[in-house]
Amino acid sequence: MRASVRCVLRRIAPLLAVAAICLVVVAPVFAQGGPQPPEGFVPVTEVPASEQLPAAPLVMGAYAFVWVVLVVYLWSIARRLTKVQAEIDRLVSRLDKGA
């Protein structure tokens, strides 16, 4: 395969991956069959005020949890990456000295 074609493919690969993921995710959902009477969600324009207060801390708690998990995981990856990078640098310098 020509180098330039490969280069282009490598660039658009992330986008293709996103598209592929979206398709894979959506397919089984649509495979369930044609539209059926909505069984879960119906929007409404008005909501009695009494409904809102108890739910708010739960909603915010849920979103906060999501954020915390994502941040912790990113931090964990970053920490491990720096550790491994330091290890590699150490080994490379040791090998260079030896050689």
Partner 1 sequence: MKRALPVLAVVATAMFALAPFYIMQAPIEATMGLVQKIFYFHVPSAMMMFVSTFVCGIASALFLFGKRERADRVAVAAAELVVMFGLIVLVTGPIWARKSWGVWWQWDARLTLSLLLWMIFLAYLLVRKYGGPGSEKLAAAMALFGMADVPFVYVSVNIWRTLHPTTSVVPTLQRSMAGPFWFSVAAFAVLYILLLTLRVRLAHQQADVERLYLIANED
| Chain residues in the site for partner 1 (CB under 8 A) | 10-11, 13-14, 17-18, 21-22, 24-25, 28-30, 32-33, 35-45, 47, 51-52, 54-56, 58-59, 61-63, 65-66, 69-70, 73-74, 77, 80-81, 84-85, 87-88, 91-92, 94-95, 98
Give the shortest CB-2-to-partner 1 separation in angstroms: 19
Give the shortest CB-99-to-partner 1 separation in angstroms: 8
Provide the residue count of the chain.
99
Closer residue to partner 1, CB minimum distance, 2 or 43:
43
DSSP state letters, 9-41 = HHHHHHHHHHHHHHHHHHHHHHTT-S-----S-
d(CA 61, CA 73): 18
With vertex at residue 67, the alpha carbon angle to CA 22 and CA 50, rounded to the nearest 5 degrees, is: 100
List the end-to-end C-alpha distance of the chain, in Å, as a whole number: 38
Closer residue to partner 1, CB minimum distance, 1 or 47:
47
Give the shortest CB-74-to-partner 1 separation in angstroms: 7
